[in-house]
Amino acid sequence: MSQDTSPPSLHGAATLPSLGVIAAEGDEAASFLHSQLTQDFALLGVSEARLAALCTAKGRMLASFVAFKRAHDRILLVCRRDLLPATLKRLQMFVLRAKVKLRDASDEFALRGLAGDAVPAGLGTTPWSHLAEGDVSLVRLYPAGATPRALWVGPATAAPAGPVLTEAQWDWLEVMSGVATLSQPVVEAFVPQMLNYESVGGVNFKKGCYPGQEVVARSQFRGTLKRRAYLAHADAPLQTGQEVFHASDAEQPTGTVVQAAPNPQGGWDAIVSMQTGSADGAPLRAGEATLHLQPLPYPLLDDI
């Protein structure tokens, strides 16, 4: 069952205190990240950004990033602050003799989410485009839907002009994009395809090895994927990590709430990762909330 949760028109900039920045600096910054993350950083240009994940050897996601190059020897990785210390420590374990230094650069930057008319026209319309203007970086976020969105990363003393959005409004736009940002309650819960990352530019299957690469590739090419990410609307509050149950089984959960936010028009919306067989129209519940699946704003790779 689908309900109308069409987005209201949202325009402006939101402060994003939940995000932080890891700086990778050095002549081998790109090659190092190429060997550790799910995306191709060897061919990353200054006009491009990457959605990427750091995985365990078993292919389970430890963190997700929006990454872009500020110079040939400097790449910035934007991720959740609650994951940043452990993520930085893990990446540093693999530096060895590589000519790269990794550090927490969060205090050097202000991060804003831009929506609607606040997204500069010069950024273009292609998702994961990167535009550098002086000390400011702008990244076009995926997908290019009815409400365009961009990530603004600039000096800590600066801020984009225009109307102000609340963080809750931005969180809702993030949920409705269908592109999940990993956070602490769901660390190691998913391989990238369980969050549709292969369909939104988060996995490159042509690049070389990285931790978990064999599992991620096997999930893609050997058999049907059993779990996918879905959008869902609920009549009661939801929270990240909450278990989701199908009407046919009240004991064994079929999925997990990955990200959730209140809908400005009422109720809550969420990205839910669950078994594909449970998307059959039967009732879904998470705690006291009844969930109704909504269309994704992008096609899945295996449906194209």
Rounded average pLDDT over 162-167: 91
Instruction: Using DSSP, state whether 134 is helix, strand or coil.
Output: coil
Burial letters 162-182, b for 16+ CB under 10 A, else e: beebeeebbbbbbbbbbbbbb
Mean pLDDT over the full length of the chain: 93
Residue 74's pLDDT is what?
97
| Residues 188 and 142 occupy one common structural domain | no
Judge whether residue 5 has pLDDT over 90.
no
Whether 199 is in a domain gets the answer yes
Rounded average pLDDT over 204-216: 93
Q: What is the pLDDT of residues 93-128, one digit of tens each?
A: 999 999 999 999 999 999 999 999 999 989 988 999
- Dihedral sign (CA 121, 124, 126, 128): negative
Whether 134 is in a domain gets the answer yes
- For residues 219 and 224, give the distance between their C-alpha atoms in angstroms, rounded to a whole number: 8
Query: Residue 304: which pLDDT band, with cuts at 50, 70 and 90?
Result: very low
Q: Residue 116 is part of which domain span?
A: 12-164
Judge whether residue 161 has pLDDT over 90.
no
The CATH number linked to 48 is 3.30.1360.120
Residue 34's pLDDT is what?
97
Name the residue among 142, 113, 112 with its Cα closest to residue 127: 142
Residue 1's pLDDT is what?
44
| Residues 137 and 212 occupy one common structural domain | no
Whether 176 is in a domain gets the answer no
Tokens of 290: 């009844």
Tokens of 104: 């927490």
| Residues 19 and 151 occupy one common structural domain | yes
- For residues 163 and 11, give the distance between their C-alpha atoms in angstroms, rounded to a whole number: 7
Whether 60 is in a domain gets the answer yes
The CATH number linked to 208 is 2.40.30.160
Chosen domain end from 103, 131, 164: 164
Query: Residue 224: which pLDDT band, with cuts at 50, 70 and 90?
Result: low
Query: Residue 162: which pLDDT band, with cuts at 50, 70 and 90?
Result: confident
| Residues 85 and 156 occupy one common structural domain | yes
| Residues 84 and 191 occupy one common structural domain | no
Whether 193 is in a domain gets the answer yes
Residue 296 gets which letter from DSSP? -
| Residues 196 and 156 occupy one common structural domain | no
Name the residue among 108, 240, 109 with its Cα closest to residue 181: 240
| Residues 212 and 272 occupy one common structural domain | yes
- Classify 277 in phi/psi space as left (phi over 0), alpha (psi -120 to 50) or beta: alpha
State phi, psi for 217 to the nearest 5 degrees: -65, -40
Answer whether 76's CB lies under 8 Å from 22's CB.
yes
Could you give the percent of the chain with pLDDT greater than 70? 95
Task: Provide the whole-model pTM.
Answer: 0.94
| Residues 158 and 233 occupy one common structural domain | no
Structural domain tally of the chain? 2
Judge whether residue 303 has pLDDT over 90.
no
